[in-house]
Amino acid sequence: MNNTTVIKYLIDTNSLITPYKTYYPFDFAGKFWDQLNHAICNGDIIVLDLVFEEVKKGDDQLSEWINEVDSSLILNHIQPAIITRYAEILQHIQMSNFYKEKALLDWSKTDAADPWLIATACTYGYRIITFETKNGNLNMVNKSARAKIPDVCSVFGVACEDLYSMMRNLSFNM
């Protein structure tokens, strides 16, 4: 019997925009984007519709690239199981002694992808890929106005990694 667990990655918007703007522009790192597209087509990387929409807003090569991704591969966040988890995540932010009201207001916006990413990862067992790092100083005295993906992921048992970890695990090469 094969006990190998298949890892699926749910990618945050910043894990697409940051490489595009800094490390892997299309003019000299096209291979990165080809491998990323291949991993999306294979189902190794999942793109949530809210992330897709955020990236599409740009008027650049990245928005052109994301528009070429097969739309049938984009995951719709409006699913009952995901919505249930989303409500739990917002309730956590609201009830936590570590966050200011602004954190809840920001994550409650209809186009805020972060809580939906975590809800989706909870629902399907995905790992989130993000460049966000933990707050590291969450406490009741100095409440944070900004909830961060890794902090909330740790509460909900969701694995959270950076882009390079995913690239290594999927055997990207440059």
- Domain ranges, ordered by start, for the chain: 1-174
The identity of residue 102, as a single letter, is: K
Q: What is the pTM of this model?
A: 0.95
**127: its two tokens:** 């790992």
| Cα torsion angle, 52, 56, 60, 65, sign | positive
Assign domain 1-174 to its CATH superfamily: 5'-nuclease (3.40.50.1010)
Query: What is the per-residue pLDDT for 174?
Result: 84
Phi-psi region of 125 (alpha: psi -120 to 50; beta: other; left: phi over 0): left
Query: What is the per-residue pLDDT for 32?
Result: 97
Pairing verdict, β 127-129 and 9-11: parallel
Residue with tokens 């491998």: 35
Residue 16: count other Cβ atoms within 10 Å of its Cβ.
Answer: 24
Query: What is the per-residue pLDDT for 170?
Result: 97
Positions of the chain with pLDDT lower than 70, given as ranges: 1-4
What's the pLDDT tens digit per position in 51-62?
A: 999 999 999 999
